[in-house]
A and B are shown apart, each in its own frame.
Chain A
Amino acid sequence: MSQQRMALWAAEADLDEDLQDVDLSLAMGSYGQNELYDDAQQPQLDESALLTMQQHMAQQAAFSQIPDVVKRFIVHFHQAVLDNNLAEITVAYESGWNRLTEKYYAKTEWPEAEIIAPLVNDDQIFLILYRELYYRHVYSRLQPNIDDRFHSYENSCELFNYLLNSDGPVPISLPEQWLWDIIDEFIYQYQSFSIWRSKPRTKTDDELGLLADGGAQVWSSYSVLNVLYSLIQKSRINEYIVATQEGKSEEEISEIVGEYGTKPLYRMLGYFSIIGLLRVHVLLGDFTLALKVMDNVELNQKSPFTRVTACHVATYYYVGFCYIMLRRYHDAIRTFVTILNFMLRMRQYHTRSYQYDQINKTADRMYALFAICHALSPTRLDDNILNIVKEKYGEQFAKMSKGDEGLPAFEELFLYACPKFISANPPPYDDPEALSALLESDQPHVDPAHRHLALFLADVQAQSPIPTLRSFLKLYTSLDASKLANFLDVGEEEMVCQLMMMKQASRSISRIGSDKEGGDKSAKGGLLDGQMIVTSDLNFVIDDNMVHIAESTVGRRYAGWFIRNTEHAQRVLDALRASPLPSSKGAGGAATGPGSGPKPKGGNDSTDVQRNNAPRPGGQKVAWGGVKAA
């Protein structure tokens, strides 16, 4: 690993030269020490005093353009970071930044870090954080050009270098949401760069030149993985999770995780890096490794990653998608149902979140993936989710259950809902001959998403006779194979092969059994583990030439619904009892007595309050109890 780490930082030094970026050539070691920083700046002034003067004047002009309210915001934001005041940072980060973006920077960049530097006393750490936001804004609202892409990479490197290679843990605190966004955005920009880089035809000569010089190192897969693994190792997050699961005491845990792991900043970055790895491996098409890195993470509502909704949702999306690619449709369905139900319940709370739109889009993708899984392995796990799927994707849903003719519907939903796959390697920008050969070749370019689609569709197509077979088998308890072959208008041997295929498709590895066995400690086997289960209600066996069929039925489930509504009724009743009588002030009716009035028997007050405070978790538990019984 050390070798790769060198490669990453070495690449960065090269880039500084290539891009002649004055500002970024600051000595790495001088973060947080303002005096040293001034020293470092001095020689540059001597070397190109005139140029600097001009720059200075331009910067001053730009500075004067900044609205006062933005200046005040930056000063305030900086102060909050200096004070490690998490509450203030959160307000500035989640609300202030977005409000000012809407007002002043909806279509343009925020002021560059160099221009606002005087406002924050040239605090390099804050400027790195500021640039993190600056580039994220460019990527989300505007079109990043090649300089933005290279510079945002450098800034990410500086940020992670500061976090990982300072003397000891760095003394800053950031809100968990921001920490997740840092990891999330880092991977997003890597993904965005990889996709942009994979299309040599649309590049200008300048871009081709830059890509030939430094493109292989910037945003390379190794450098991205290196950051994520380094954060995981530094924070000893896996050791932390295992120790927590083993019920170790706080002292023991802090012994195990060391000086970095005890800091919330590093612990959460480590945690989010595991989720980040899950995502990177999926993007690169390595679905088994993606689930393997999650070995220690427990997928339940109590896990720390659920505290950041965007992270919670992303985790389930990628895990569910992996299960689809592992052809474990039932596990995928369970994963999606869990998170989609959670989102339905949380809807009223997270509408305010600035990531609401993004989260909703992911949810729509998961409904589409649910539809795919359901077509391949029908289940009645959750009628509520199923109904929403039918509303959203009714047309495709109907087509997909029709065998061969449903393939275009599978394709449409897969391409809509799959992650934005990337190639690990760039086109040969550093080899002009190979590049021009590539550009001139008439071989159609197959993007990674279509490669994965083709592999998936091959399996779907193999299963295409199932719906027809199923509809015939359902009509009989036993039936001669030759007769069935006649109905289907295929040869008997061919049909027997189809039956074998159908039978095997109704068996799948799943985590269901392992969950129950281990109770709360279901994570012991990891997400890849599982045992063979039967996924179809239609079972059959071939006795020489006679097909015997047995169909299982699942009675309707009422309990969950009644329990939920009983609890709801209880809550309503409690709320009614706790509220004052609707009588007017002077009316004597208010004195009807405490027994039936607003205050029930004294001792019960506190329990009522508790119930009212936590209505949601109560409702959830019941629903999950009901579903688990499936």
Chain B
Amino acid sequence: MPSSTATAWISPSTRTSVIENLVSGVDRYNPSNVGILEDYLYQQIRSQEYDCLANLAILKLYQFNPDLYNPDVVVNILLKALTAAPLPDFSHCLSLFDERPPAPKSEDPLPDLIPSLSTMHTLLIQCRFPAFWTLYHSEQLEPLRENYTIEYVGFEDAIREVVVRAVKTSFTKISSERLGSYLNLRGAELEAFAEQHEWTFDASAGIFTIPANPDNEIESIVVQEQIELKQLTNIIAHTTLKR
């Protein structure tokens, strides 16, 4: 979500016409199309793309056809949705989960993972980034890292983009220590990352400067009422007709 409109979210440039037809047409309900959408998800996982509505279409098919349910796909969808924070994509995904009969636990990793994923999501929308990294690297989440995010190209960088969005909005200057704890990066890595975003580093003070953008430039505005002629047409028309 780099832009300031929803257009790219509604219809990402990476979406092919086949996927577009599935997302916008009635074919989205046809269970035999689930494979196409799942392939598209794995393409997103490999190529750092994101298409929320297409992924929700998978969950919709799972909702109507519990037989199709594939927990690995669901975990990947949720991981993708995490990186869209602070947009509520993660909640949209969970909204489509119907209560399902308890399956034998060994077969379905989801019941164990969902609470952790939800906590990760909460930490991200609360902007508690240091706590996020601590949780993510904890022993408890080893299964998630070993089985899922290892396949997910650029997962950590995608989370860092969540951080970048928050920092860009809120800061004009930020200490390297603080920024490092948010990005889970140190030293040269941190500087290289900041340079990509054209954040300049003052090494002597240990402070990064964030370039001005619409959100980190503040000013007090007094909004005065503006009356448009259109609003007065009735009154004026009435007056002139009388004379």
Chain B residues whose C-beta falls within 8 Å of the C-beta of A607 in the assembled complex: 241
With A539-B218, A541-B218 in contact, is A531–B5 under 8 Å at CB?
Answer: yes
**Across the interface, do A530 and B6 meet the contact criterion of CB distance under 8 Å?**
yes
- Rounded to whole angstroms, the CA-CA distance of A292 and B86 in the bound complex is 21
Tell me whether A78 is interfacial, beta carbon within 8 Å.
Answer: no
Partner of B235, one of A551, A556, A570: A570
Nearest chain A residue, comparing its CB with the CB of B228: A625
What's the count of A-B pairs with C-beta under 8 Å?
207
- Rounded to whole angstroms, the CA-CA distance of A625 and B230 in the bound complex is 8
List B residues 94-145 near A (Cβ within 8 Å). Answer: 94-102, 118, 122, 125-130
- Rounded to whole angstroms, the CA-CA distance of A414 and B227 in the bound complex is 37
Tell me whether A241 is interfacial, beta carbon within 8 Å.
Answer: no
Partner of B231, one of A452, A525, A542, A625: A625
Tell me whether A629 is interfacial, beta carbon within 8 Å.
Answer: yes
Partner of A503, one of B64, B169, B178: B169
Contact pattern, B 169-209, Cβ under 8 Å of A = 1, otherwise 0: 11111110010010000000000000000000000000100
Chain A residues whose C-beta falls within 8 Å of the C-beta of B127 in the assembled complex: 497-498, 500-501, 504
Partner of A551, one of B26, B102, B220: B220
Nearest chain B residue, comparing its CB with the CB of A607: B241
With A455-B94, A459-B88, A554-B223 in contact, is A567–B10 under 8 Å at CB?
Answer: no
- Rounded to whole angstroms, the CA-CA distance of A548 and B220 in the bound complex is 11
Contact pattern, A 427-457, Cβ under 8 Å of B = 1, otherwise 0: 1100000100110010101101001100110
Tell me whether B7 is interfacial, beta carbon within 8 Å.
Answer: yes
- Rounded to whole angstroms, the CA-CA distance of A504 and B7 in the bound complex is 19
| Closest-CB distance, B124 to chain A (whole angstroms) | 9
- Rounded to whole angstroms, the CA-CA distance of A67 and B99 in the bound complex is 49
- Rounded to whole angstroms, the CA-CA distance of A371 and B75 in the bound complex is 35
Contact pattern, A 391-432, Cβ under 8 Å of B = 1, otherwise 0: 000000000000000000000000000000001110110000
Tell me whether B24 is interfacial, beta carbon within 8 Å.
Answer: yes
- Rounded to whole angstroms, the CA-CA distance of A287 and B93 in the bound complex is 10
- Rounded to whole angstroms, the CA-CA distance of A286 and B215 in the bound complex is 31
Nearest chain A residue, comparing its CB with the CB of B226: A629
- Rounded to whole angstroms, the CA-CA distance of A425 and B88 in the bound complex is 25
Contact pattern, A 526-570, Cβ under 8 Å of B = 1, otherwise 0: 101111100000011111110011111111111110010011001
**Across the interface, do A507 and B231 meet the contact criterion of CB distance under 8 Å?**
no
- Rounded to whole angstroms, the CA-CA distance of A222 and B232 in the bound complex is 52
Chain B residues whose C-beta falls within 8 Å of the C-beta of A597 in the assembled complex: none
Chain A residues whose C-beta falls within 8 Å of the C-beta of B227 in the assembled complex: 559
Chain B residues whose C-beta falls within 8 Å of the C-beta of A542 in the assembled complex: 170-174
Tell me whether B18 is interfacial, beta carbon within 8 Å.
Answer: no
**Across the interface, do A1 and B29 meet the contact criterion of CB distance under 8 Å?**
yes
With A1-B29, A559-B225 in contact, is A550–B220 under 8 Å at CB?
Answer: yes
Chain B residues whose C-beta falls within 8 Å of the C-beta of A518 in the assembled complex: none
Tell me whether B147 is interfacial, beta carbon within 8 Å.
Answer: no
Nearest chain B residue, comparing its CB with the CB of A530: B6
**Across the interface, do A544 and B174 meet the contact criterion of CB distance under 8 Å?**
yes
Tell me whether A303 is interfacial, beta carbon within 8 Å.
Answer: no
Chain B residues whose C-beta falls within 8 Å of the C-beta of A545 in the assembled complex: 175
Tell me whether B16 is interfacial, beta carbon within 8 Å.
Answer: no
Nearest chain B residue, comparing its CB with the CB of A3: B30
Partner of A626, one of B6, B221, B231: B231
For A, the interface residue count at a CB cutoff of 8 angstroms equals 91
Tell me whether A388 is interfacial, beta carbon within 8 Å.
Answer: no
**Across the interface, do B7 and A289 meet the contact criterion of CB distance under 8 Å?**
no
| Closest-CB distance, B174 to chain A (whole angstroms) | 7
With A287-B95, A563-B235 in contact, is A509–B172 under 8 Å at CB?
Answer: no
Residue among B97, B102, B238 with the highest chain A CB neighbour number at 10 A = B238
**Across the interface, do A500 and B170 meet the contact criterion of CB distance under 8 Å?**
yes
Partner of A531, one of B4, B94, B95: B4
**Across the interface, do B98 and A423 meet the contact criterion of CB distance under 8 Å?**
yes
Tell me whether A458 is interfacial, beta carbon within 8 Å.
Answer: yes
Q: Sort chain B's interface into a size bin.
A: 35 or more
Tell me whether A128 is interfacial, beta carbon within 8 Å.
Answer: no
Nearest chain A residue, comparing its CB with the CB of B215: A507
- Rounded to whole angstroms, the CA-CA distance of A167 and B41 in the bound complex is 43
Chain A residues whose C-beta falls within 8 Å of the C-beta of B165 in the assembled complex: 504
Tell me whether A611 is interfacial, beta carbon within 8 Å.
Answer: yes
- Rounded to whole angstroms, the CA-CA distance of A544 and B171 in the bound complex is 7
List A residues 277-336 near B (Cβ within 8 Å). Answer: 284-289, 292, 325-327
List A residues 222-248 near B (Cβ within 8 Å). Answer: 222, 225, 229, 233
**Across the interface, do B222 and A500 meet the contact criterion of CB distance under 8 Å?**
no
Chain A residues whose C-beta falls within 8 Å of the C-beta of B242 in the assembled complex: 604
**Across the interface, do B207 and A550 meet the contact criterion of CB distance under 8 Å?**
no
Tell me whether A192 is interfacial, beta carbon within 8 Å.
Answer: no
**Across the interface, do B7 and A225 meet the contact criterion of CB distance under 8 Å?**
no
Chain B residues whose C-beta falls within 8 Å of the C-beta of A456 in the assembled complex: 91
Contact pattern, A 485-509, Cβ under 8 Å of B = 1, otherwise 0: 0000000011011111101110101
Residue among A325, A425, A557 with the highest chain B CB neighbour number at 10 A = A425
List A residues 459-505 near B (Cβ within 8 Å). Answer: 459, 462, 493-494, 496-501, 503-505
Which residues of B come within 8 Å of A, CB atoms? 4-7, 10, 24, 26-27, 29-30, 52-53, 56, 60, 63-64, 66, 86-88, 91-92, 94-102, 118, 122, 125-130, 165-167, 169-175, 178, 181, 207, 215-228, 230-232, 234-235, 238, 241-242
A-B contacts besides A451-B99, A550-B219, A552-B222, 17 pairs, CB < 8 Å: A4-B30, A286-B96, A424-B98, A497-B127, A500-B166, A500-B167, A504-B127, A509-B6, A531-B4, A539-B219, A541-B216, A542-B170, A549-B218, A553-B220, A567-B234, A567-B238, A570-B238
Which residues of A come within 8 Å of B, CB atoms? 1, 3-4, 221-222, 225, 229, 233, 284-289, 292, 325-327, 423-425, 427-428, 434, 437-438, 441, 443, 445-446, 448, 451-452, 455-456, 458-459, 462, 493-494, 496-501, 503-505, 507, 509, 525-526, 528-532, 539-545, 548-560, 563, 566-567, 570, 604, 607, 611, 618, 621-622, 625-626, 629
Closest 10 CB pairs of A and B: A500-B127, A285-B95, A532-B4, A552-B221, A625-B231, A550-B218, A531-B5, A544-B173, A539-B218, A554-B223
20 contacting pairs across A/B (C-beta < 8 A):
A1-B29, A286-B96, A287-B95, A423-B98, A438-B101, A451-B95, A451-B97, A462-B122, A500-B127, A500-B166, A504-B127, A505-B86, A529-B5, A539-B218, A541-B171, A542-B172, A552-B220, A553-B223, A618-B234, A622-B231
